[in-house]
Structure 1
Amino acid sequence: MGTGYRGLAALLREAIQRGDYTEGSTLPKQGEIAAEHGVNINTVRQAVRLLESEGLVTPVRRRGTVVRPRVAMRRLGADRYAKSKWKSGLVAFAADREATGRAWAPDDQINDVRLTKADAETSDALGLTPGAPVYERARLVKEAHVPTHTLTSYYRPEDVEGTPLVDSKTGPAGRGGGFAILTGRGLEPDTITETVHARMPTPDETQVLRLPAGEPVMVLHRTTFTAGGRPIEFARGVHAASRFTWSYTFKIPD
């Protein structure tokens, strides 16, 4: 194997995968790596940038090059929305954590709520006129202080006015989250349509989610309906691609 930056990156990659550098640990200083492998500092920088683009490491200010988690969180499919979960007080992001055996706390999610105008996508999903007023509830979800995804939900004002859904306090909007609150308003969620696609992040998304160079995002669109077919929530989620696996179990239709 050569001593160019690709060869050096391969050696460092193998060391990370072997467990020589554990999750959350820092690689040696670039000067130390250069000395150990007999290469110049520019070769080390290029090798580290390559590993960063692969999502294996990320630069952290005042710490150095940190090894990223290798085990993705399991994002449940239909099971994350089971009525038994939110009716007993569990919120969806916490259901994902528990299914993966990971700890969670209410302040892993923060909210930013405002009254705004529906864009074309939101108005189409909720059956409104473009520009109609909607409540926007934007959440940033973290694990161990590292952002995993954003989720922004939109509601008709008459459905959520005066409820904890429009309270911008930190954490989930009460026990069971938004679905439990909608149920209390006589708008029990019954059916969900989700679409998922991948793309490269915007600069703002890269900053908010602290994404390494080259990492894509998984974008979720979710529309929730009552049993009568009334849309009661439209949500957009932007997920760091390396942080989740997407799992769906379903009965095969006839």
Structure 2
Amino acid sequence: MTSTRYEETAAHLRERIEAGDYPPGSKIPSVRTLATTYDVSDATIRASLRILEAEGLVKTVPKSGIIVRERSGRRRLTRSSQISHDGTMYRFPAAAEQGEPWTPHGKPTTSVEPVPVDVAEVFELEPGTPVVRRRRVMSPAGEEPWDIIDTWIPPRIIAVAPKAGEPVTGPGGYLARIEETGHGPLTWEETARADMPNREEAELLGISSLMPVMRILRIGISALDGLPAECSAYVIPSDRVEIHSALTRGPSARWPVSYS
């Protein structure tokens, strides 16, 4: 397939960034300068830069121009069915279990917010219904924001476990407050999909709104009534994660395999 001029220009700029000609944190030439250098139109350069933004290589900083991004290493999410408890709280399969320290960006918040469409469907509520949201923006220590974690707790649960909706929840966190009301033991299920970030998410993660994100929706199911008791929505930039799953042989695939 023949490359277009903007794809060719993006490829050349990408090579220069990866070669260190434009190191992280540096400013690349203006659109006008690049258009003159490559003998193309301003529109072609802007299209090239949109490709690089979507790949996470550059970002637009108001009043500063196009800046080469500092890039976090891609981390592996090992997805399994194993949930553990370390004596203080539950631990779910995630990159954080690699043993490196993770820290919040800004102060974790607890507030009542309009519930988004995907979470509203989980709780069978009208989109926009006021629901308690616990928000954290996290990353490995010393790195740029890596993910947003929004935990939503529906009104029927807050009614019996009000502490779960407070900033300080006590030992075991909000999950312990939910389970001790008779809704425990919770069971969980997850779905994951690719999507584009909204403006707020892009700003919190320091990414272009053109960069796809991974959305993981983890739903905690009540043992009391079989309904969702909490829902945690993870938003992770696509350039920072890969998913790893161990595959096991089912009974029909046991070795040695018999061929008929």
Do Structure 1 and Structure 2 share a fold, with TM-score over 0.5?
Answer: yes
Matches within 5 A, 1:1-254: 4-22=5-23, 24-30=24-30, 34=34, 37=37, 39=39, 42=42, 44-61=45-62, 63=64, 64-69=66-71, 71-78=73-80, 82-85=83-86, 87-89=87-89, 96-99=95-98, 102-107=100-105, 110-114=108-112, 125=122, 135-143=131-139, 144-146=143-145, 148-155=147-154, 156-161=157-162, 163=163, 165-168=164-167, 176-185=172-181, 187-226=183-222, 229=226, 231-249=228-246
- Partner deviation per Cα, 1:164-212 (whole Å, 9 max, x = no partner): x32246xxx5665433443455544442111122233344444444431
For 1:25, give the aligned amino acid. Answer: G
- Shift in CA distance, 68/90, structure 1 to aligned 2, threshold 3 Å: farther
C-alpha contact 2:153 2:165 (8 A) present in aligned 1? no
Gapped regions of structure 2 (runs ≥ 5)? 252-260
Task: Provide the C-alpha distance between the structure 2 equivalents of 1:123 and 1:40, rounded to a whole number of angstroms.
Answer: 47
C-alpha contact 1:225 1:232 (8 A) present in aligned 2? yes
Stretches (4+) displaced over 6 A: 118-121, 128-131
- Partner deviation per Cα, 1:104-163 (whole Å, 9 max, x = no partner): 2245662232287x788657645x7769x98522414143453632423224123421x2
SS at match of 1:105: strand
RMSD of aligned Cα (Å): 4.3
For 1:239, give the aligned amino acid. Answer: I
C-alpha contact 2:213 2:237 (8 A) present in aligned 1? yes
CA-CA distance at 1:19 after TM superposition: 5.0
Task: Provide the C-alpha distance between the structure 1 equivalents of 2:172 and 2:19, rounded to a whole number of angstroms.
Answer: 40
C-alpha contact 1:5 1:47 (8 A) present in aligned 2? yes
C-alpha contact 2:191 2:218 (8 A) present in aligned 1? yes
For 1:153, give the aligned amino acid. Answer: W
C-alpha contact 1:113 1:136 (8 A) present in aligned 2? yes
- Partner deviation per Cα, 1:57-111 (whole Å, 9 max, x = no partner): 21233554122526223334247x72234x3447659x63352x65422456622
Task: Provide the C-alpha distance between the structure 1 equivalents of 2:206 and 2:104, rounded to a whole number of angstroms.
Answer: 21
Q: TM-score when scaled to structure 2?
A: 0.66
For 1:26, give the aligned amino acid. Answer: S
C-alpha contact 2:179 2:186 (8 A) present in aligned 1? no
Task: Provide the C-alpha distance between the structure 1 equivalents of 2:41 and 2:101, rounded to a whole number of angstroms.
Answer: 39
C-alpha contact 1:3 1:37 (8 A) present in aligned 2? no
Gapped regions of structure 1 (runs ≥ 5)? none
How many residue pairs get aligned? The number is 240
Percent identity for Structure 1 against Structure 2: 24
C-alpha contact 1:91 1:176 (8 A) present in aligned 2? no
Between stretches 24-33 and 187-196, larger displacement belongs to 24-33
Q: Which has the larger radius of gyration?
A: 2
Q: TM-score when scaled to structure 1?
A: 0.67
